Amino acid sequence: MSHQQTKKVLKNMPSIPASDQMHQAAEYFKSLQERITKAFEGLEEGASFECTAWEKTPEDRLQGYGEMRLMRGDVFEKVGVNFSFVHGVFSEEFVKQIPGAEENEGRFVACGISLVAHMKNPHAPTVHMNLRRIETAKSWFGGGADLTPTIEYEEDTTHFHDILKQACESYSETAYPTYKKWCDEYFFIKHWNEPRGVGGIFIDSLDSGDQLKDFAFIKEIGDAFLDSYMPILEKRIATDYSDADKQKQLQKRAKYVEFNLLYDRGTKFGFMTGGNPEAILMSMPPVASW
């Protein structure tokens, strides 16, 4: 859908208008979805992404449109890369938790890209990446990326963090240590008292007052994603593995499921705003074992 079409869809809906910044963010997230899915397809012989465009009608509590892209292949056991542009009204319970929502009768506009890749080879780590923009009476960006290996390679962890660190340094000196710490705190599985993975960066709310600068930073992260992850995949997807390695991966994934359903705010946000369960649960692993 083009920039003009996006504007037209929104015009027909009784909601707050999206800012130009929101439309530009949406365009960027869509182009990033395209770039990443093309790169991932390059690692597969036979498989390609199945794309499902969806649109919510004015009858739904949540309105807007999006595109889910899902691939199940020989390298990527399951990978989802979703784009969405939604607007609507937060439920009463949710309004109090969202900055600027009370001043705005709970109305919001949001767009984002969300990605989770579960690799077939247990030597290749699971990755999660999400970038988003939200507008209520306030507006902000958020997102991040984090890595969850079954079998950890220190050099992979170092590479992943190094690339994200470079992306952060364009923004500020404190960005990387701050958002790395947020990531470690957020992706922590309380009931097991252990981290979900080896971290990355997590930005809950980016609102420096300089929207252009914030948007440029979000684009730095988006542009860095393939550089942070692809070299790791290229190194690990052909490594031999045992049944025990695979079993270990399925158990690691079980904890991923537990985190996403018990603690993840993105999942809660999705269900509480009446989102599409297929899209919300895209992050679930192809197979998990308890």
Which residues of this protein are in contact with a second copy, per CB under 8 A?
A: 78, 190-192, 250, 254, 257-258, 261-262, 271, 277, 280-281, 284-290
Return the active site residues.
Answer: 128
DSSP string of 74-98, one letter each residue: SSEEEEEEEEEEEEEE--HHHHTTS
Shortest Cβ 288–a second copy spacing (Å): 6
Closest to a second copy by CB, 73 vs 222, is: 73
Nearest to 17 by CA among 175, 169, 136: 136
Give dist(CA 246, CA 250) in Å, integer: 6
For residues 228-262, one letter each, b for 16 or more C-beta atoms within 10 angstroms of the residue's C-beta and e for the rest, the string is bbeebbeebbeeebeeeebebbbebbebbebbbee
Give dist(CA 9, CA 136) in Å, integer: 19
Shortest Cβ 284–a second copy spacing (Å): 4
Shortest Cβ 254–a second copy spacing (Å): 7
Nearest to 9 by CA among 72, 60, 79: 60
Shortest Cβ 37–a second copy spacing (Å): 19
Closest to a second copy by CB, 92 vs 173, is: 92
Shortest Cβ 165–a second copy spacing (Å): 33
Q: Report whether 200 contacts 131 (CB < 8 A).
A: no
Q: Coil, helix or strand for 51? A: strand
Closest to a second copy by CB, 74 vs 192, is: 192
Closest to a second copy by CB, 139 vs 267, is: 267
Closest to a second copy by CB, 191 vs 213, is: 191
Beta strand ranges found along 122-174 (DSSP E): 126-135, 139-148
Q: Report whether 228 contacts 160 (CB < 8 A).
A: yes
